[in-house]
Every structure is written in C-alpha cells, then in structure tokens.
Amino acid sequence: MDGPEFRDRTPRHSRSRTAWRIVRGLAAAALIAGAAFLAAGVIYADPRFDGLFEVSRGPGPGQATAGQPGQPGQPAAVEAVRPDTPPPGVGEQDEPLGRPQKPAVASSSYRFLALNDDGTPVGYSPCRPLHYVVNAALAPEGAERLVGEAIGTISRATGIRFIDDGPTTEEPSPSRVPYQQDVYGDRWAPLLIAWTTPEQASQLAGPVIGTGGSTHFSFGNGPKSFVTGSLELDAPQIGEDLSRTDGAAYATAVILHELSHVMGLEHVDDPTQLMYPEIGTPDGLAAGDLNGLYELGSAQCRKDL
C-alpha cells in the first residue's frame, strides 16, 4: 500500500516585505516588517490559562522526542518514503492543549496568510506544543524578557502551548530545513527565534528590522498545517530602539507583529490594528488581531504530521 505523499517534496520559501514606520511624536523611523514565508509542501492573569505558556525546558537540541503512532490507516512505510520528515504525530495529543482567550470585542479586521480549500485558515495544531529555541548571543541589553512576554501574549490569544527548549547556536536561514534530525531529534524543528544582524541574515538588509514566518505541509490535496517557523530580529536596530524612553513598548510591538505572522496573520488595511504595516503607538494587539489569532487557535489536530 502506497503511503500518502506531500504536495511538494521540497518546501519552497518566499517572503514579502512591507514598509513599517514607527512614529514617535515628530520623529519617524523607517522600519520593515517581514511577512511570513510560506512553504507549500508554506498577560492577562486568568486562572483558566494557567500552564498554557510553559517556560520549563523541553528536549533541547540533540535530544530526540519519542514519537507516537499516526492516525488509523497511516502506513508505517511513510517514514521510509519520507526521510525528510519526522515520524507522524510526535507530541500530538487527542485534544487541544489549551483554549484561546475569546476576544472581548468582535472584529473582522484581520487577514490570514494561507487558507485551506474549505476556507479555513492554515495554523499550527493546537493538540501539540510548539517548541521554540532562541539564539540570543547578540540580544541587546534590556531585551531579556521581551521574547518571553510576547510569546505569553500570543499563547493566550491562540491557545497554542509553547515550550522553551532553551538556547541554540543555529543561525537563521531563508531556506531553513523544517526537519533537522541530527540537531533536534525525530520531530519537526522548533520555532527558531534569532537575534541577528544584516550581515548574518541578508533578509534584514537596509531598514528591515524583523522577518518571520512558518512552513506548512499537506498530504496531496488535504488540509495544510504549519509545522515550524522562524523569526529574525535585527539586534542593532532594536538595541538602538531600546535606548529610548518608550523603546521596550515599540520593540515588543515588533516582536508581536512578527510572531503573529508566524502564527498565520497577514497585513491588514486597518491602521488601528497591530498587523497594519504602519504603527503610531505601541498599544499591542488590537481587536482585529486578537480575533484573527483566536480563529487560528481553532486549527485541526494533526496526528498524521
């Protein structure tokens, strides 16, 4: 019996960029927010959400995670047929691990980066944790807590449970391989968050301050799901930003914007949303952003991936 085949054997990565200007009074700095690359083959204290954002260490680089069998009917031969993918269902549970926080205000001011044929947005499986690693070797002073706080915000908005696998020396790449068995074991590579420079990450050339996105796979014409992603932050630019009085708030806005791309949100035309290409005040996620992330938290579970 032949196993299912991915729509494309090799992920194709692409990125789109949009000018993102951050305006502070009379001063305006030209910044760039990178949209997510797609692989076709593209805190508010509340006891209900206790444990959703885990800061405990996960398996970490070089340590394999035990796999789980796929859904009934999933051929055992699929692993041999697809040596560039991990065993299916690693870390997948029978039910979502968390519940997204329902937005207080309804809004349709959001867009998705990718849709399935049935119109549902492409997102991460809510039934497995999204592991992440951070390359913080070049992180500017004062940035230590920014990533963790932003991830906590995104976790509450989507219901996705994040697990910090600790530091990594992996460098960002525009064609990052989603399955790195020698580094991360028999699972999809964790989300890579890298503080870097334009010299290390060419996609940050010029005024670009950050890029982010995710890779999705599907079987044949079946539904797509994100399996891993990456986020690159321009350490020198954000370090300069942090020297300003309100710098931490603006740096957090950049990280939240890019993480929202990672989760599956696209830019919008509504200037009141964080996913608008230009930002005036760093008020965080607005109603449209939150409603879009809430929808992404309802993606289907995927024991077959």
- CA distances to 151, 171, 181, 182 from 133, rounded to whole Å, are 12, 11, 15, 16
Vertex 240: Cα angle to 238 and 243 (nearest 5): 110
**301 assigned to some structural domain:** no
223: nearest Cα among 292, 136, 302, 140: 302
**Span 199-213, pLDDT tens digits:** 999 888 887 888 899
- Arithmetic mean of pLDDT over the chain: 77
**Span 231-254, pLDDT tens digits:** 999 999 999 989 988 889 999 999
**302 assigned to some structural domain:** no
pLDDT at 82: 58
Residue range of the domain that includes 221: 17-296
pLDDT at 67: 31
Domain CATH number, residue 142:
3.40.390.10
Looking at the predicted structure, is the pLDDT value of residue 151 above 90?
Answer: yes
**3 assigned to some structural domain:** no
User: CB neighbours of 25 closer than 8 A, spacing ≥ 6?
Assistant: none
Tell me, rounded to whole angstroms, the distance of Cα 304 from its chain centroid. 20
**246 assigned to some structural domain:** yes
The answer to pTM > 0.85 is: no
User: CB neighbours of 281 closer than 8 A, spacing ≥ 6?
Assistant: none
d(CA 179, CA 84): 6
**Span 60-102, pLDDT tens digits:** 443 333 333 333 333 333 333 356 889 999 999 999 999 999 9
